[in-house]
Structure 1
């Protein structure tokens, strides 16, 4: 049976679907995908690959028939456990079980991990390699491109985990920050007699008790509040707008002043000060949506982040439709900073020169519009130091950690069996902490072990024995990296460092060394 109609009644196109509603899944467990020059389109035809179609009406994800290299049908292939027609309904991230939100739980769960990408990613990748979608690079080349931080605007791919009952997308496989999720609708799986027989032979004692291997009963179907369903719909439509008319940024969200003009920055700050951002919603796919009221009009603004970097932005105003960053986007970013309590440095009125560059030592002003490239050379020749903090990407987390708007972490328990005498605890971190983990992994000291040894310290040094007030910035950077990387080996260690204040003390010392300049939001 192949489903030709979504559960909401909208038509489906199966393998013939095109555009951003077509999703392919490439499992990372197969070496053929990553370590050999496997052709791009071959990925989903190998065992474990998947093709999904997202319904444009309700956002549900439907598993398409399994593609083959020669176009033949696979029949009841026991490798394809959940056949064509299985429907996954978009759900709230809070509904995702602990299996997918803890490193230790995920690694022991047995669910399939890999890369999920949409048709839009193919177009982005083809443009990156100056080719067309009929001559795509191999998956080995594609993987290398995805891992390069310079290509953060390749925003239509995600790390993914797929089990019986959930599809979960992550921004980063090293920081389990969930960006979107779907829950299988009970009763939509196609019955496969071979799978029934194989399951009967399965002697795994945990199979009947683990939360993602049992069949979902109808009474366990997730209840999603109407307001959350509305937010998910907004996210799906926002994703399509970003694909169609989004502005590629590729810069850090804290570097707002570097990717918006002084005039737009000033106007956006005025809108922010007037509380013009009347709505800010976390939707799905890592997209935040805002409504900014300006001159009696409500502008719809979207912002997509990848690894704490702004990949794309869009707005319904005329300026943004002409691919210019507008004041509404600036106001939204400042509101995000206020809500999530991180710092964005804005130039003061004395520092804002409207495109000119004024030297602080009293030298003549250089007109940036006419002689910007010469001004850069002059700065290098005079060995000017860069103004502002060097570690603000770390120290901006001091306030969210000291006075969090929500708990930074909590522990969930998963019972090992119905008659078990103990529960297994898993530490689940908030979005703020996961963002911090992501930043440290991608921007922190990549060789922190060598740095620590250079200071005569072990890679698992006990931080409380150190005199934090005497440490320099390089050592603090290495210690923070050590805390984050140790979390993956010793789950709960980061929570312990948050609880006893060790992490905040390191960040405070780092801020004292750096200093802070400019206007802060």
Structure 2
């Protein structure tokens, strides 16, 4: 059976789907697209590969027929647990279970990891290599292009985990930072009889108690608030606008003046002063959406960030439709700076007298009292470059760690029920800690083991035996990086360092050396 109609009633096209609603999933379990010169179109025919179609009406994701190298259908191939027609409904990220938030649980859960991309990625990649979609580069070449920071605007691909219960997109595989997710709707699966028989023979005592590893953990549909459903719909529409008329930026948000014209900066500052940004929403796919009111008209503005860099922007006004950054985009960025408390430097002095942000001497000053307990990846955008190494991107986490608005971590278990044989605990960190892990991995001391050896220390040195007050900045940065990387081998180690105060002592010492006193403005 192949589903020809979405659960909302909209028609589906299956493998004939074209455009941004078609998603291919390339598995990394065999590492075929990493280690071998696998042709681009061969990827989804590998064991574990998938093709999905996203409904343009409701955002649901439907599993298509599984393609083969010769174009035939696989029928009852036991490699496929559920056949074409299985429907995944887009869900709130908060609904994603801990299995997909923990590195160790994810790697041991049987979930398939890999790269998920849309048809728009094919077009972008072909343009990057100056070819057409009939002569695509191999996946080995494509992978290198995706990892190159110069191609951060090469959007429409994500690292992904595809299980029986969820499809989860990540921005970075090293840090389970979720971008968007879909939940399989109970009762919508077209089961494979061979897999049903194999599961019946499975004698693993954890099978019936595991929270998400074998079968549906929840026998009911997720209850998603109406406002969140509305935000997901806005995100899907914003994604299409970014694909159709997005402006590639590839620069940091703080560098607003370098990718905006003086006219756009002046107009955006005026709109910001007038509180013209009447709506700012975190949607899906890593997209922020804003509504900017200008002369009685509401303009829809979308901004896609990847790894702390603005990848693309879009606006419905005429200026942006002609591929120029407009005042509405500038106003949105300034509003993001106000909400997430980081500095935007303008080329000319502009006085602002109300709101949480004021600009004097061309710099934005933030009322920190409004955001005492908030931090995410936007918090750690750097300030003006100093002559030597600066570490305010690390010490900015002191305050959120000391007075978090929600617990920094919690422990959950993969098993359920009072008679569970095994209880394997996993540490689940909140967004603040995940942001900290992300920034350390991307900007920390990549040669921290060599640095530790140079100081005569082992790569797993016990930090409590050290006199932290005598350590220099380079060694502290290496120790912080060691803590984060050790978390990947010894889950819960970072939580122990937070609980014991070891990490805070290192960060406070680093703040004293750096001389910035933890300020973010």
Distance 2:120 2:21 in 1: 9
Q: What is the match of residue 5 of structure 1?
A: 5
Distance 1:131 1:315, change over 3 A: same
Cα shift readout 1:2-35 (whole Å, capped 9, x = no counterpart):
1111111000000000001000011101133321
Distance 2:309 2:301 in 1: 17
DSSP-derived class of the 1:300 partner:
strand
Distance 1:513 1:294 in 2: 47
8 Å Cα contact 2:452-2:475 kept in structure 1: yes
Q: What is the match of residue 249 of structure 2?
A: 249
8 Å Cα contact 2:390-2:514 kept in structure 1: yes
8 Å Cα contact 1:389-1:515 kept in structure 2: no
Instruction: Report the TM-score when normalising by structure 1.
Output: 0.85
User: Mind listing any 5+ residue stretches in structure 1 that lack a counterpart?
Assistant: 353-384
Cα shift readout 1:58-99 (whole Å, capped 9, x = no counterpart):
000000001112122222111111101111111111111111
Distance 2:400 2:348 in 1: 27
Q: What is the match of residue 188 of structure 2?
A: 188
Distance 1:3 1:196 in 2: 20
8 Å Cα contact 1:44-1:50 kept in structure 2: yes
Q: 1:128 and 2:100 equivalent?
A: no
Cα shift readout 1:475-517 (whole Å, capped 9, x = no counterpart):
2322221121121122222233344544445445445545569
8 Å Cα contact 1:307-1:439 kept in structure 2: no
Distance 1:513 1:298 in 2: 48
Distance 2:350 2:458 in 1: 44
Distance 1:320 1:348 in 2: 22
Cα shift readout 1:426-475 (whole Å, capped 9, x = no counterpart):
22222232222222212221111111221222222334444445443322
Q: What is the match of residue 346 of structure 1?
A: 345
Q: What is the match of residue 58 of structure 2?
A: 58
**Superposition map of 1:90-109 within 5 A:** 90-109=90-109
The CA RMSD measured in Å over matched residues stands at 2.8
User: Mind listing any 5+ residue stretches in structure 2 that lack a counterpart?
Assistant: 352-384
Number of matched residues? 487
Q: What is the match of residue 382 of structure 1?
A: none
Instruction: Report the TM-score when normalising by structure 2.
Output: 0.85
Q: What is the match of residue 445 of structure 1?
A: 445
DSSP-derived class of the 1:289 partner:
strand
Shift of 1:317: 2.8
8 Å Cα contact 1:452-1:458 kept in structure 2: yes
Distance 1:256 1:128, change over 3 A: same
8 Å Cα contact 1:256-1:344 kept in structure 2: no
Cα shift readout 1:134-165 (whole Å, capped 9, x = no counterpart):
11111111112212222221211111111111
Shift of 1:421: 6.9
8 Å Cα contact 1:255-1:344 kept in structure 2: no
**Superposition map of 1:165-176 within 5 A:** 165-176=165-176
DSSP-derived class of the 1:114 partner:
strand
Shift of 1:268: 3.7
Distance 1:46 1:239, change over 3 A: same
DSSP-derived class of the 2:329 partner:
helix
Shift of 1:110: 1.2
Q: Name the stretch that deviates more: 182-191 or 268-277.
A: 268-277
Distance 1:338 1:158 in 2: 29
Q: What is the match of residue 35 of structure 1?
A: 35
Cα shift readout 1:360-409 (whole Å, capped 9, x = no counterpart):
xxxxxxxxxxxxxxxxxxxxxxxxx8679844443444444344444433
